[in-house]
Amino acid sequence: MRVTILKRHNYPAILTTPSLTTNPICMKNSIWQLLLLVALLCSCTVIRPGEVGIKQKLGKISADHLAAGPYGFNPFTSRIIKIQTRTVEAFNTLDVPTKEGLTVKSEIALLYHVKPEATRDVYTKYGMNYQEVIVESNFRAVVRHICGMYFAKELFAVDRKKIEKEIYDEISASIWDKGFVTDAVLLKSITMPPQIFQAVENKLKAEQESLQMEFIISKQRKEAERMQIEAEAIKNYNNTIAQSLSEIMVKWNSIQVLKELVNSPNSKVIVTDGKSPMIINDKSN
């Protein structure tokens, strides 16, 4: 007969701690702690350099502006709105008309910023989408207006700085009273359809050739005038020499005649004008 002896093992007792899911009190405390943390995070904000804060409480906008720094507020009744006052770029690719009715493509950028003292009015009137509502809409209209004053060839021939200056002046006057300051206008490129560009290029080339021909004609005309003046001077010089020689020849001939008269055996009375030389024959009869 076989007997089996079983040994009794003493296993260590496993200690269990109450979990959050099994302990309602711990779970409630954790929820309150989480809510408190969220409330603290939502009730404070930091306004960075280049920003201005506007406090809105129960729908009303405060008249004061908040400068850079940390701020606290009641997240249930208030909020702080941040508006950038640093310079930003509004880049546009536009199809603009020219004076003769053609369409050219331009890449142009506007650099602007919001006046810090006007942030409240900007937000109240235009909201946070003020760039699209006011700035870019006015900018596109001004660019089309200025480019429409030039022919297509002039957009290539005229100094780009001049066009930028005209756009800058008009857009500045348009958005200044709305709370925006124009920093710069950058006309990056102007592109035409290939066939129009070739036509304009040929026209500009023909005009350059015409101007060159006018310059050559003007140069030749001035050369002819110079030669005519030179010929007149030579003619006057020759006339002066001829006149001087003629007077000498007249005097010489008169002297010869007087000599013949003096040597003549016949007596003569000679009346002169006092200018002809008097030759007296000293021969005795």
Report the C-alpha gap between 90 and 111 in whole angstroms.
6
The model carries a pTM of: 0.57
Which is nearest to 110 in space by CA: 174, 153, 167?
A: 167
Report the C-alpha gap between 44 and 155 in whole angstroms.
53
Where a domain ends, among 165, 194, 223?
Answer: 194
- Whole-number pLDDT of residue 264: 66
> DSSP letter at 43?
T
Where a domain ends, among 16, 50, 83?
Answer: 83
Same domain, 37 and 59: yes
- Whole-number pLDDT of residue 122: 92
- For residues 71 and 45, the answer to whether their CB atoms sit within 8 Å is yes
**In-domain check, residue 31:** yes
270: domain range?
248-285
Same domain, 31 and 50: yes
Distance of CA 194 to the CA centre of its chain: 25
| Domain containing residue 141: CATH number | 3.30.479.30
Same domain, 109 and 172: yes
Same domain, 95 and 136: yes
Exposed / middle / buried, residue 175 (Cβ in 10 Å: 0-12, 13-18, 19+) = buried
- Whole-number pLDDT of residue 237: 77
**In-domain check, residue 208:** no
- Whole-number pLDDT of residue 140: 94
Distance of CA 59 to the CA centre of its chain: 44
**In-domain check, residue 16:** no
- CA-based torsion, 281, 283, 284, 285: positive or negative: negative
Render 201-267 in DSSP notation, one character per residue.
HHHHHHHHHHHHHHHHHHHHHHHHHHHHHHHHHHHHHHHHHHHHHHHHHHHHHHHHHHHHHHT-SS-
Same domain, 96 and 43: no
Report the C-alpha gap between 54 and 124 in whole angstroms.
10
Those residues whose C-beta lies under 8 Å from the C-beta of residue 225, and which sit 6 or more positions away, are none
**In-domain check, residue 156:** yes
Same domain, 76 and 56: yes
**In-domain check, residue 252:** yes
Same domain, 122 and 109: yes
Report the C-alpha gap between 81 and 56 in whole angstroms.
7
Rg (CA), the chain: 53
- CA-based torsion, 96, 100, 101, 102: positive or negative: negative
Same domain, 114 and 55: no
Backbone torsions φ then ψ of 46, nearest 5 degrees: -125, 125
Total count of domains within the chain: 3
- For residues 104 and 96, the answer to whether their CB atoms sit within 8 Å is yes
Report the C-alpha gap between 135 and 172 in whole angstroms.
10
Report the C-alpha gap between 212 and 206 in whole angstroms.
10
Which is nearest to 117 in space by CA: 87, 88, 83, 168?
A: 83
pLDDT of the chain, 285 residues: tens digit per residue: 454 444 454 545 444 445 545 566 777 677 776 766 666 667 778 888 889 988 888 878 888 888 888 887 777 788 888 999 999 999 999 999 888 888 888 999 999 999 999 999 999 999 899 999 999 999 999 999 999 998 877 887 777 889 999 999 999 999 999 999 999 999 988 887 677 777 767 877 888 888 888 888 888 888 888 888 888 888 887 777 777 666 666 677 677 766 776 676 665 555 566 565 555 554 544
**In-domain check, residue 216:** no
- Whole-number pLDDT of residue 269: 54
Same domain, 78 and 146: no
Render 40-78 in DSSP notation, one character per residue.
HHHTEEEEPTTEEEEEEETTEEEEEEE-SEEEE--TTTE
Neighbours of 238 (CB within 10 A): 10
Where a domain ends, among 48, 67, 83?
Answer: 83
